A and B are shown apart, each in its own frame.
Chain A
């Protein structure tokens, strides 16, 4: 897998707010066709790194390359071309509350593609079906949907333009264990069928075991470890030991082993 070229390559990224430096020379690669799980304690700056990559937060130093081009060096048009090749699932879904589920999925298409309304309806319905929703959610507004459904609609919207990279910000947070497991499975299935590269911020240990090809660990503003989960588990780093070696971490490990062997 690591033979593939990196689709995202972050080098020495420094991001801070005022006096505080959240990321201090963080570097990370995401390779084509993999699911990278990005872990770290609460407030460690996982979401900050994701938001800095997609350009929502200004960086103080460092480079972010996506598909081999440095985002800072692009003009508006080139940047929009790249933005169309990624989809983002925000933590709370971030569906547009004034639009129905179907309109939300159609929104990116409406902005970038010239399609007939009928074709757009069909594509959007297909996307909703792809994320496991029934067609009757199409007319519902985000306020009428449950948390799990909102995440699925948001995922459908992130996939609306058939992106190559998907950013997921804590996709399973706020879901019950069954819903979370289903969502993990959905991500895995979609990633395999669509050949996506996935950058997943999470603290869900189950997700890490179930779907991630590699994990990267953020601590004290730097990426302290990357690699397959087994290798990372064996690491001696104190933070990692307490993270995976804690009560909740140990509960997951044996289960993961039995499913893997």
Chain B
């Protein structure tokens, strides 16, 4: 929470002096947490989509409701599963990396060295990382959702015997734009949560290597829990506004 305040100050500071924004650093982190995460995200969401579709077909067939598998998968993936899977993967992949990076910098007094040079560690280390994550997660969510739908379509076709044209047509009827928007709106907020938790834990590392391990674990567990809790709040919110 304290870091959120410091981050807001850093954001205001860089808005006042745009030259202080570390563009190179943002691009570097964007490549690390965004671009390089694409294969694993696409693969895992593809599989999740395929599994959901297979399970759906298997159960729904007993009462002859094969067609509704598409509804189930599409709504689940676009509203919830897509963004959640991406966030869980990012908490494990990038959140832990952030905590470990900042934590080891703290251990080796690199953070202190930055401070003595008159630089704000939040502006130098946290801001570029959080910006990169906030940009990367929505993009990965989009890719992940598409991959999951692709996986579901493939299973419907090969396992359920549903022609791709029918799948797509059913998809058109099952979802409307807000279904997709609900997932995408959540993505940046969840990214912010992961980034803040990861960096906060990183700063809490003290001198020992054991605390680095503990804090990295805490970072992953806390951010996954908070992402799920946030998802619950969003569910209430979207229900309230009727989306």
Q: Are B117 and A111 in contact (CB under 8 A)?
A: yes
Looking at the complex, which one of A51, A80, A96 makes contact with B118 (CB distance below 8 Å)?
A80
Cross-chain pairs A/B with CB under 8 angstroms, 21 sampled: A54-B116, A55-B115, A56-B112, A56-B115, A79-B118, A84-B118, A88-B116, A90-B109, A91-B109, A94-B108, A94-B109, A94-B110, A94-B113, A95-B113, A97-B104, A97-B105, A97-B108, A97-B110, A111-B118, A111-B119, A112-B118
Point out the residues of chain A lying under 8 angstroms from B119, CB to CB.
111
Proximity bits, B107-129, A CB within 8 Å = 1, else 0? 01110110111110000000000
A76 CB, nearest partner CB in chain B, Å? 9
Point out the residues of chain B lying under 8 angstroms from A51, CB to CB.
112
| Chain A minimum-CB-distance residue to B120 | A76
Proximity bits, A107-143, B CB within 8 Å = 1, else 0? 1100110000000000000000000000000000000
Q: Are B110 and A96 in contact (CB under 8 A)?
A: yes
Q: Are A94 and B112 in contact (CB under 8 A)?
A: yes
Whether, in the assembled complex, A182 has its beta carbon less than 8 Å from a beta carbon of chain B, the answer is: no
| Chain A minimum-CB-distance residue to B114 | A96
Q: Which residues of B contact A (CB under 8 A)?
A: 104-105, 108-110, 112-113, 115-119
Secondary structure call for the A interface: loop
Whether, in the assembled complex, A92 has its beta carbon less than 8 Å from a beta carbon of chain B, the answer is: yes
**Contacts across chains A and B counted by CB atoms under 8 Å:** 43
A168 CB, nearest partner CB in chain B, Å? 13
A96 to B119, CA, bound (A): 13
Point out the residues of chain A lying under 8 angstroms from B117, CB to CB.
83, 107-108, 111
Q: Are B118 and A95 in contact (CB under 8 A)?
A: no
Residue total for A at the interface (Cβ-Cβ under 8 A): 22
| Given A56-B112, A83-B116, 12 further pairs, Cβ under 8 A | A51-B112, A54-B116, A55-B116, A56-B116, A80-B118, A83-B118, A84-B118, A92-B108, A94-B110, A94-B113, A95-B110, A112-B118
A83 to B115, CA, bound (A): 9
Within 45-59 of A, Cβ neighbours of B (below 8 Å) are at: 51, 54-56
Point out the residues of chain A lying under 8 angstroms from B115, CB to CB.
55-56
| Chain A minimum-CB-distance residue to B25 | A98
| Chain B minimum-CB-distance residue to A76 | B118
Top 5 nearest A-B pairs by Cβ distance?
A83-B118, A94-B109, A94-B113, A80-B118, A90-B109
A166 to B115, CA, bound (A): 15
A93 to B108, CA, bound (A): 8
A107 to B108, CA, bound (A): 17
Point out the residues of chain A lying under 8 angstroms from B118, CB to CB.
79-80, 83-84, 111-112
